[in-house]
């Protein structure tokens, strides 16, 4: 990481401007090394407009390090057109692990209102969050919503809920049934 920052500073000294990808890589490395303040400072000092990857990296890093409130504040700055399923899922994960799960539920609702569809990862996060709190009824309800939305569960979800996987034909039939009429 030290060499990466030396190179980063070196290219700036010779007049080159690092792009958003370079900044995002460095931000991710700072979070991996638990340098949260340095990551936040680098993000704020960028002379470029952050893209969805940069915002998602910041929100994910802040949540993983326990700064869910700060991640939530940063999320509010993210333009709606830049928010992705990954951006939402990172903050939902933060709320499920270190914050009130009702915040995660509200965020999931907002996500849907903004026409951003939850994916298998989003459902996995919510199901695990409910199970962790002993709210198995809500975990199973979320599982059924997932099926209703024609999203195929992964192995992690089955293990989280302690379910046997349905064979592919059963799941395919259930998924076909769940698809909206066209």
In a domain, 58, yes or no: no
- Can you give the pLDDT at residue 160? 87
Which residue do the tokens 């700064």 mark? Answer: 67
* Alpha carbons 123 and 119: distance in angstroms, whole number: 6
- Can you give the pLDDT at residue 12? 66
- Can you give the pLDDT at residue 170? 54
In a domain, 174, yes or no: yes
User: Residue 130, exposed/middle/buried by CB under 10 A (0-12, 13-18, 19+)?
Assistant: buried
pTM over 0.85: no
Which domain, by its residues, includes 144?
A: 136-182
In a domain, 64, yes or no: no
In a domain, 142, yes or no: yes
- Can you give the pLDDT at residue 176? 47
User: How many Cβ atoms from other residues are within 10 Å of residue 66's Cβ?
Assistant: 14
- Can you give the pLDDT at residue 102? 95
Number of domains in the chain: 1
In a domain, 81, yes or no: no
Q: Per-residue confidence of the chain (182 residues) as pLDDT tens digits?
A: 777 767 667 676 777 778 899 889 999 999 999 999 999 999 998 888 999 999 999 999 999 999 999 999 999 999 999 999 999 999 999 999 997 899 999 999 999 999 999 999 999 999 999 999 999 999 999 999 999 999 989 888 888 888 766 544 455 455 444 434 44
Among candidate residues 116, 92, 111, 114, the one with its CA nearest the CA of residue 103: 92
Structure tokens at 93: 């994960």
In a domain, 165, yes or no: yes
In a domain, 177, yes or no: yes
- Can you give the pLDDT at residue 8? 66
In a domain, 71, yes or no: no
* Alpha carbons 75 and 173: distance in angstroms, whole number: 38
């Amino acid at each position: 990481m030290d060499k990466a920052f030396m190179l980063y500073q070196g290219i700036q000294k010779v007049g080159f401007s690092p792009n958003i990808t370079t900044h995002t890589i460095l931000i991710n490395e700072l979070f991996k090394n638990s340098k949260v303040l340095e990551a936040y400072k680098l993000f704020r000092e960028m002379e470029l407009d952050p893209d969805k990857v940069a915002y998602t990296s910041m929100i994910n890093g802040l949540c993983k390090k326990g700064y869910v409130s700060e991640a939530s504040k940063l999320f509010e700055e993210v333009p709606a057109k830049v928010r992705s399923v990954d951006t939402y899922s990172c903050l939902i994960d933060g709320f499920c692990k270190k914050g009130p799960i009702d915040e995660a539920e509200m965020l999931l609702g907002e996500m849907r209102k903004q026409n951003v569809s939850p994916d298998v990862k989003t459902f996995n996060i919510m199901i695990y969050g409910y199970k962790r709190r002993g709210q198995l009824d809500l975990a199973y309800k979320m599982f059924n919503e997932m099926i209703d939305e024609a999203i195929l569960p992964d192995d992690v979800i089955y293990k989280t809920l302690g379910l046997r996987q349905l064979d592919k034909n059963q799941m395919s039939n259930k998924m076909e049934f769940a698809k909206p009429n066209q």
